[in-house]
Amino acid sequence: MANEEYDAIWFGGGASGRFGSAFHKALGGRPLIVEKHGLGGECHVCRCAFENYVADQASMAEMLRLYSGLAWYPKIDLSNISMAKVVEVYRNVGQPAFHDAMSHQSEKQLQLEVAWGKGVIIDKNTVEVNGKLYKGKNLVIGTGSRPTIPDIPGTDLENVWTYRDHPYIEKDPKKLVIIGGGKIGIGKAAMFAPFNIDVTVLEKYTCLPKWDWEIRNYIFEDFKRRGIKVYEGIDVKQIKGDGKVEAVVAETNGDVMEFPCDAVILSVGLTPNSELAVPLGIKIGKENEIIIDKGCRTNVPGIYAVGDVAGPPYFMAIARKRGMVAAKNMMGEEAVMDETLPLPDHIYVPPLEATTVGLTEEEARKQYDDVVVIRVPWGDRPKDTEPLKYIPHFENQGLPVCGRMHSLNLFFYGENRNGLVKAIVDPASRKYVGFHSVGDGAKTGFQYLSYLLKIGWTVDQMAELHEIFLNAEHFVQLSRLIAGQKELTGYGAQTVTEDYTKLFPKG
């Protein structure tokens, strides 16, 4: 078998390896995937697909709690619902179903060849799997990433988890501390809370630092209302416990605080699995990532790296597209990663979902003389309103309406639970510079808005589109209402109310 030569051996059949080899095959090449677990990588085991499922369950549970006893909703006792039960269904049904689907699509439909087993890289043209040698003209490393374990005492205690442990939880914690307030940590906080779990997030710097201030504000206001505690500027020193976790010790402004808990989730980042590349003489960067050029080539000719192992952005589309770019280059089509296409991002914050692309308002105000913000809602909302109570002449309460938020906003007038959308425009060029949304159902549009940003989309072009009403993000119609302005000034009285620098208690 060793004399049979593949165009490339794709070491790792995760998002980047699977998509890359599929593209490679489609281009007419002969790829071989080496994979020890299942195709599709961690996505459907414990990452994107799994999180999507848990977020959906958490959303439904949170909504049901809100709606219980209202209109037709029965009085529902959610005191016994359990995250462990939710993930059990995923383990029993989701993981195998997804595994099958990936295998069916890759091996049957796309006819990709897979060498199953733990591979050993002998040299850059030779990989051994189960004692068998495979030869390839090129080697593509796509071994992904793993959760970063912070260098503090106690991370080996029982019930100290990472995202990898989430699908295998057997008993719900009562008090959960999440270390790290990035995309994963904040998402997990919103997912665990609906299951009657007391959640605290500890973040050393700033939570979701790259997000628009108003979107962050919205998410954390919602957290406050739901009793999810968030601390910023707090440094975790130790996880305490006798065999099993009992508390997290952290320091802020010289004060030591202790957070009792029975479980901890570490979400301080990802570390690329680049160790296997070291013996090949491949250059490794500061974050343990394999260093690649825009064409996904490493410093060693004939070796490519794709996906998370090649460093940030740790993002599904980037992983898959790196695979595609590597495949093209191996087949002699000069290709590079398109860095002019703004990268959208999203986060699950059940029952909501937030999405962003382009500049935040802060960034835009720094970059441009003036900025027009198209936003719904605006202005203050009454505090402490009661559900199902209409507040006369409070004009903001109904919007935005979208997706599953439609019922929500009618049930909870003024509770500000139905979302916030904003588009940011440079009035001089009339071009959009950023789009942001928190709500439901807008994510899908942002994939295309990202492209429109790239081509210099203007309010005048937006006004010409055909909206599908009721749309989740309202951008087409909100833009059309002001697009007639020769000198773009935006809406007459767009206002905001909170100072974003004062959102969190420091410690």
Q: Which is nearer to other proteins, 147 or 377 (CB)?
A: 377
The answer to the question of residue 192 lying near other proteins (CB under 8 A) is no
Q: Which is nearer to other proteins, 94 or 180 (CB)?
A: 94
The answer to the question of residue 428 lying near other proteins (CB under 8 A) is no
> Which amino acid, residue 403?
G
To the query of whether residue 296 is one of the catalytic residues in this protein, the response is no
Q: How far is CA 98 from CA 12, 101, 245, 313, in A?
A: 17, 5, 33, 25
- 172-191 residues in contact with other proteins (CB under 8 A) are none
Residue 343 Cβ, how far from other proteins at the closest point, in Å?
6
- 377-416 residues in contact with other proteins (CB under 8 A) are 379-380, 388, 390, 392-399, 401, 403-404, 406-407, 409-411, 413
Residue with tokens 């990663």: 337
Residues facing 375 on adjacent strands: 422
The answer to the question of residue 84 lying near other proteins (CB under 8 A) is no
Q: Which is nearer to other proteins, 112 or 305 (CB)?
A: 112
Residue 471 Cβ, how far from other proteins at the closest point, in Å?
5
DSSP per-residue codes, 286-303: TTSPBP--TT-B-SSTTE
> Which amino acid, residue 86?
V
Number of residues that bind other proteins (CB under 8 A): 131
3-state DSSP call for residue 279? helix
> Which residue of 6, 10, 11, 90 would you call a contact of other proteins, by CB under 8 A?
90
- 47-76 residues in contact with other proteins (CB under 8 A) are 48-49, 52-53, 56-57, 60-61, 67, 71-72, 74, 76
The answer to the question of residue 104 lying near other proteins (CB under 8 A) is yes
To the query of whether residue 48 is one of the catalytic residues in this protein, the response is yes
Of 95, 83, 89, 78, which Cα lies nearest the Cα of 263? 83
Residue 220 Cβ, how far from other proteins at the closest point, in Å?
17
For the chain, the farthest-separated pair of C-alpha atoms sits apart, in whole angstroms, at 80
Of 375, 378, 388, 382, which Cα lies nearest the Cα of 414? 382
Rounded to whole angstroms, the Cα distance separating 354 from 441 reads: 10
DSSP per-residue codes, 28-74: T--EEEEESS-TTTTTTTTSHHHHHHHHHHHHHHHHHHHHTTSTTPP
> Which residue of 317, 427, 503, 507 would you call a contact of other proteins, by CB under 8 A?
317
- 322-351 residues in contact with other proteins (CB under 8 A) are 324, 327-328, 338, 341, 343-346
Rounded to whole angstroms, the Cα distance separating 481 from 413 reads: 25
Q: Dig out the tokens for 481 from the structure.
A: 């209402």
Q: Which is nearer to other proteins, 198 or 380 (CB)?
A: 380
3-state DSSP call for residue 277? helix
Stretch of 138-146, 216-224, 253-261, 449-457 lying at the interface with other proteins (CB under 8 A): 449-457
Rounded to whole angstroms, the Cα distance separating 480 from 241 reads: 59
> Which residue of 201, 202, 441, 504 would you call a contact of other proteins, by CB under 8 A?
441
Rounded to whole angstroms, the Cα distance separating 104 from 123 reads: 31
Residue 94 Cβ, how far from other proteins at the closest point, in Å?
5
Stretch of 215-223, 228-236, 248-256, 354-362 lying at the interface with other proteins (CB under 8 A): 354-362
Q: Which is nearer to other proteins, 181 or 194 (CB)?
A: 194
Q: Which is nearer to other proteins, 205 or 448 (CB)?
A: 448
To the query of whether residue 43 is one of the catalytic residues in this protein, the response is yes
Residue in 19, 24, 43, 475 annotated catalytic: 43
- 475-494 residues in contact with other proteins (CB under 8 A) are 476-477, 480-486, 491-494
DSSP per-residue codes, 89-108: HIIIIIHHHHHHHHHIIIII
Residue 468 Cβ, how far from other proteins at the closest point, in Å?
4
Residue with tokens 């995760």: 14
Q: Which is nearer to other proteins, 274 or 409 (CB)?
A: 409
Q: Which is nearer to other proteins, 124 or 322 (CB)?
A: 322
- 29-48 residues in contact with other proteins (CB under 8 A) are 43, 48
DSSP per-residue codes, 176-237: EEEE--SHHHHHHHHHHGGGT-EEEEEESS-SSTTS-HHHHHHHHHHHHHHT-EEEES-EEE
Q: Which is nearer to other proteins, 292 or 364 (CB)?
A: 364
Residue in 11, 19, 32, 39 annotated catalytic: 39
Residue 154 Cβ, how far from other proteins at the closest point, in Å?
32
Stretch of 18-26, 140-148, 176-184, 285-293 lying at the interface with other proteins (CB under 8 A): 18-26
> Which residue of 110, 249, 291, 300 would you call a contact of other proteins, by CB under 8 A?
110
The answer to the question of residue 371 lying near other proteins (CB under 8 A) is yes
The answer to the question of residue 266 lying near other proteins (CB under 8 A) is no
DSSP per-residue codes, 450-466: HHHHHTT-BHHHHHTS-
Q: Dig out the tokens for 8 from the structure.
A: 């490339």
Residue 431 Cβ, how far from other proteins at the closest point, in Å?
16
What ranges in 331-458 are assigned the alpha helix state H?
361-367, 405-411, 443-454
Which residue numbers are catalytic? Answer: 39, 43, 48, 99, 469
